[in-house]
Chains A and B, each alone.
Chain A
Amino acid sequence: MSNMGKRLTGMKRSTRTSMATYGMVILAYIVIQLIRGLRDGGVGPLLEGQLIPICAYVTMALALNLVVGISGELSLGHAGFMSIGAFAGCSMAMGLESVIPAAPLRLAAAMVFGAAVAAVLGFLIGIPVLRLNGDYLAIVTLAFGEIIKGVVTNIYLGLDSAGLHFSFLTNGNELLDGGKELIKGPVGVMNSERISTFTAGFILVMIALIVIFNLVNSRTGRAIMAARDNRIAAESVGISVTKYKMIAFATSAALAGAAGTLYGCSQVTFVATKFDFNTSILILVFVVLGGLGNMWGSVIAAAALTILPEALRQFQDYRMLVYAIVLILVMLATNNPTLQSFFARLFRRGGDDDDAAPRKGKLSRKEAAR
């Protein structure tokens, strides 16, 4: 424990930010669990059904923020990685049903598998994509998101005592008795059991936070931010820009994959078209609203904007209209200079200088640096 004193004295703003974010998430979890345990009807049917999707979307927002905010590359295809995680993870969960009877353990195994598959795919997509810059990269990731959707819609996967059966475009799998279809093309996945829990979602959000904060505050994170801020300068001090962009991209894909598994296993059924361009944009909205590079902002924005459409059900047909208006008002408010300086003052009271990561409204900074 000799490090402890040094750690505390060396506690910088970044460390305090991460501690505050952990605290916020843990507190929210405890409060919700208390309400669910003590009050009749828990947090209400509306919020109850949204708890796991909130955790999944918070993780998605954190994952995308790693790419957009920290690594400075605009990805418009992140729902694709969520999709891969959902389909790979949930098939794994169903396949392991007889092997691992304990649901939490099975979910953990499924998430690890979903994350691994998404990470590998992220790595493969990253090879061509990360050679591009700015707008081109955004367009290519968008295309990859659509390709993933198209491919997954046409996958048929079955499992029986003889092993895995795979066919593409048409269902040619002939399963033996007792076999089950894991992925049924356009019909998607029918989960045999909904194994995702709110606690699992909370743990995933915490893992995502720890991974991202620890990564950002390490040698690797500094290299990623150096590559973002000035590519030429980063190379001049011996940092391989592509390598570090790849680490950020693959880590983000892995987290998105785990979030996909969590989401998929919380649904009775889901289809590939759920994870389309709109979902990618929705997650990007969380990130931009929460602030680029600002992790606690992403957590709050993702949670609030996931509940909002449900909370607006009373407006019936005008629900999405009100949603859009609320979104515009919030964006205007957070970009208001008076409010910004108020928050800046609130934070500066803490002590030293600005956050390591850029704040909102910096999306054009990349363009300016070119």
Chain B
Amino acid sequence: MSRAQEGRKPTKMVPVPSHSIIPERDIDKSPILECSHLGIDFGGLRAVDDFNLTIGRTEIAGLIGPNGAGKTTVFNLLTKVYQPTRGTILLDGKDTSGKTTVQINRMGIARTFQNIRLFSNLSVEDNVKIGLHNQERYSAIEGVLRLPSYWKRERSAHERALELLSIFDMQDLANHKAGSLPYGAQRRLEIVRALATNPSLLLLDEPAAGMNPSETAELMDNIVKIRDTFQIAVMLIEHDMKLVMGICEGICVLNFGQIIAKGTPAEIQANPAVIEAYLGKRKEG
């Protein structure tokens, strides 16, 4: 059977053979995200294969692995930038197959990007307001005619935008152009914009890249704070092991598109397969 046919085969729902550890406080609730046998091929390359992962309602999960392991591809699969070749993704128990990126965001997944993707010509506040697009709704006609609903919704969008910016103490930068912000602030703004879409799962792609140690420490506090305030799950890709080991409750290690280990930070640090993936095998003799 050709690969194309295999891809079109209806995927069966299989119980997840997951050893992932859902934090104590989430153990009696259904998980927010369940991936089973998720995979995607690019031509002949199996970029991600047999990816099984479960994330609890308020878990902070880490996705790590060497460069090119397929971490960002997993994010792109979860947000349907790529349609998976195999497997299923359940978000809050609901199947997401056939959904578009836009629909996935409305269902509750928000993300940031490894290479920052802000609306850099617009102001910081407008960037957050764009995140609030589906939260503060009014029609184009109401906007053009400036009916009362326009003023009401705009005022509430303005207040919510400033409130969200205050998480990172950025409310004073509201009128600056997003593209003119320093690198670290742009990364934080992307998180704020993602949060504005009111997600239940927040995907952060290398949130600490380019940050200095004190900024990273502050970011760690803020990620935990976001989780506690909004009661959402966070999944992050990060190379900074201090951040990953510091705040993640469950860690999943990816290498060559396959999960090689899952566990708590302590377990991962002691796992020989992980050490080998990162450092290579010790030469015998």
Contacts and interface: CB of A to CB of B under 8 A. Distances in A.
Interface in A211-225: 211, 214-215, 218-223, 225
A6 interface: yes
B151 A226 contact: no
Interface in B115-133: 117-123, 126, 129-131, 133
Contacts of A225: 119, 121-122, 126
A271 to B, nearest CB: 34
A232 B117 contact: yes
B130 A237 contact: yes
Contact of B123 (A3, A6, A220, A356): A356
Contacts of A12: 175
Interface string A198-241: 00000000000011001100111111011001101111111110
Nearest to A229: B119
B275 to A, nearest CB: 34
Contacts of A6: 155
A226 B150 contact: no
A88 to B, nearest CB: 22
Interface residues of A, number: 35
A357 B123 CA distance: 10
Contacts of B122: 222, 225-226, 229, 356
B119 A230 contact: yes
A218 B102 contact: no
B158 A10 contact: yes
Nearest to B136: A219
Given A226-B130, A238-B197, A218 B118 contact: no
Contact of A215 (B81, B102, B140, B153): B140
A301 B180 CA distance: 30
A358 B122 CA distance: 9
B126 A356 contact: yes
A210 B122 CA distance: 21
A222 B102 contact: no
A354 interface: yes
A247 interface: yes
Given A214-B144, A218-B140, A219-B133, A237 B126 contact: no
Contact of A356 (B79, B121, B136, B157): B121
Contact of B106 (A10, A229, A238): A238
A220 B140 contact: yes
Contacts of B139: 220
Contacts of B155: 6
Contacts of B123: 353, 356
B177 interface: yes
Nearest to B144: A214
Given A3-B151, A232-B81, A239 B102 contact: yes
B122 to A, nearest CB: 6
Given A221-B143, A353-B176, A233 B119 contact: yes
Nearest to A247: B140
A210 B145 CA distance: 9
A340 to B, nearest CB: 17
Contact of A222 (B111, B130, B180): B130
Given A219-B153, A225-B122, A357-B121, A239 B130 contact: yes
Contact of A352 (B105, B111, B175): B175
Contacts of A237: 105, 110, 130-131, 133, 193-194, 196-197
A6 B156 CA distance: 12
B135 to A, nearest CB: 9
Interface string B132-165: 0110111110011110001101110110000000
Contact of B101 (A215, A230, A235, A357): A235
Contacts of A234: 119, 130
Given A229-B121, A236-B79, A211 B144 contact: yes
Given A225-B122, A352-B175, A215 B144 contact: yes
Contacts of B175: 12, 352-353
A218 B147 CA distance: 11
B81 A229 contact: no
Interface of A: 3, 6-7, 10, 12, 210-211, 214-215, 218-223, 225-226, 229-230, 232-240, 247, 352-354, 356-358
23 contacts: A6-B155, A214-B144, A214-B145, A218-B154, A219-B138, A222-B122, A222-B126, A225-B122, A226-B119, A233-B113, A234-B130, A235-B102, A236-B111, A239-B102, A247-B140, A353-B123, A353-B177, A354-B121, A354-B180, A356-B121, A356-B122, A356-B123, A357-B121
